[in-house]
Structure 1
Amino acid sequence: MSDEPTPPPALVKCLVWDLDNTLWRGTLLEDAEVLLPDGMRELIVELDSRGILQSVCSRNDHDLAWSRLEELGLAEYFVLPEIGWGRKSDAVARIAERLNFAHRTIAFIDDQPAERAEVAFRLPDVRCYPAEEAASLAGRPEFSPAVSTVDSRRRREMYRAGFRREAERTRFEGPDEEFLRSLELEMRIGRATHEELSRVEELTLRTSQMNATGVHYPDRVLRELMADPGHEVLVVTLTDRFGPHGAVGVLLLEKRPEVWHLKLLATSCRVVSFGAGATILSWLVDQAARAGTHLLADFRGTDRNRMMEIAYRFAGFDEQPCVCREAATAPAGAEGVQRLHLAPVRQPAPTYVRVEAVRLTGREPADGVVTSRV
Structure 2
Amino acid sequence: MSKEIKCVVWDLDHTIWEGVLLESSHVTLKPGITEIIHELDRRGILQSIASKNNREDALKKLREFGLAEYFLYPEIHWNAKSTSIEAIRIQLNIGLDTFAFIDDQPFEREEVKSVHEEVLCMDAVKYRELLHLSRMQPKRLTADSSRRRLMYIENMKRQQEEEIYEGPKEAFLSSLKMKFVISEAREEDLQRAEELTLRTNQLNSTGITYDYDELNFFRQDPNHLLLVCELTDRYGSYGKIGLALIHKRAEADYLKLLLMSCRVMSRGVGTVLLTHLMQQTKNAGKRFLAEFCQTDRNRMMFVTYRLAGFKEVDQRGDISILEHPLEKLYPFPSYMDVQVPESVSRS
TM-score between the two structures when normalised by the length of structure 2? 0.95
Matched, 1:31 2:24: yes
Q: For each residue in 1:12-69, what CA deviation from the matched residue of structure 2 results, as whole angstroms up to 9, or x when unmatched?
A: 1111100000011111122352222222111111111111100011111222211111
Partners of 2:301 and 2:341 lie apart in 1 by: 23
Kindly indicate whether the alpha-carbon contact (under 8 Å) linking 2:313 and 2:321 is maintained by their aligned counterparts in 1. Answer: no
Q: Structure 2: 5+ residue runs without aligned partners?
A: none
Output one character per residue of 1:262-318: Cα deviation in whole Å (capped at 9) or x when no partner: 110010011111111111111111121122111111110001000001111111221
Question: Structure 1 regions of 5+ residues with no counterpart?
Answer: 1-6, 322-331, 365-374
Q: Quick one: distance in 2 between partners of 1:145 and 1:343?
A: 41
Which of 61, 67, 76 is equivalent to 1:68?
Answer: 61
Once structures 1 and 2 are overlaid, which stretch shifts more, 62-71 or 149-158? Answer: 62-71
- Output the TM-score relative to the length of structure 1: 0.89
User: Structure 2 matches for 1:17-56, cutoff 5 A?
Assistant: 17-31=10-24, 33-56=26-49
Mean Cα displacement is larger for which, 136-145 or 295-304?
A: 136-145
- Are 1:293 and 1:344, in contact at CA under 8 Å, matched by a contact in 2? no
Match of 2:320 in 1: 338
Distance 2:127 2:235 in 1: 34
1:251 Cα deviation after fit? 0.4
User: 1:186 matched to which residue of 2?
Assistant: 179
Q: Structure 2: how far apart are the matches of 1:179 and 1:356? A: 21
1:220 lines up with 2:213 in the alignment: yes
Q: Deviation digits for residues 138-177 of structure 1, max 9, x if unmatched? A: 1112211111110010000000111111111111122222
CA drift of 1:362 comes to 6.6
**Shift of residue 363 of structure 1?**
4.6
Q: How far does residue 220 in structure 1 lie from its aligned partner after superposition?
A: 0.6
Kindly tell me: are residues 361 and 11 of structure 1, through their superposed partners in 2, closer, same or farther at Cα, counting changes over 3 Å? closer
Contact 2:96–2:118 (8 Å) recurs in 1:
yes
Instruction: Give, in whole Å, the separation in 2 of the partners of 1:291 and 1:359.
Output: 15
The RMSD of aligned alpha carbons is 1.7
Closer, same or farther: CA 361–243 of 1 in aligned 2, 3 Å: closer
The list of structure 1 runs, each at least 4 consecutive aligned residues, that deviate by more than 6 angstroms after superposition, is: none
Greater alpha carbon shift after TM alignment, 32-41 vs 61-70? 32-41
Q: Check 1:180–1:17 CA distance in 2 against 1; reply closer, same or farther (3 A cut).
A: same
CA distance in 2, matches of 1:358, 1:293: 22
- Structure 2 residue aligned with 1:205: 198
Kindly report which structure 2 residues correspond to 1:280-319, keeping only aligned pairs within 5 A, or say none.
280-319=273-312
Give the match for residue 358 of structure 1.
341
- Percent of counterpart pairs with the same letter? 45
Residue of structure 1 in register with 2:135 after alignment: 142
Alignment counterpart, residue 348 of structure 1, candidates 324, 331, 343: 331
Secondary structure, in 3 states, of the residue corresponding to 2:301?
helix
- The reply on whether 1:264 has 2:247 as its aligned counterpart is no
Secondary structure (helix, strand or coil) at the match of 1:249 reads strand
Task: State which of 255, 262, 268 in structure 2 corresponds to 1:275.
Answer: 268
* 1:256 CA displacement: 2.0
1:244 has 2:237 as partner: yes
Q: Residue 327 of structure 1 aligns with which residue?
A: none
| Cα separation, 1, equivalents of 2:283 and 2:341 | 13
Which residue of structure 2 aligns with residue 11 of structure 1?
4
Q: Is the 8 A contact 1:287 1:359 kept in 2?
A: no
Aligned-residue offset at 1:320: 2.7
Task: Give the length in aligned residue pairs.
Answer: 346
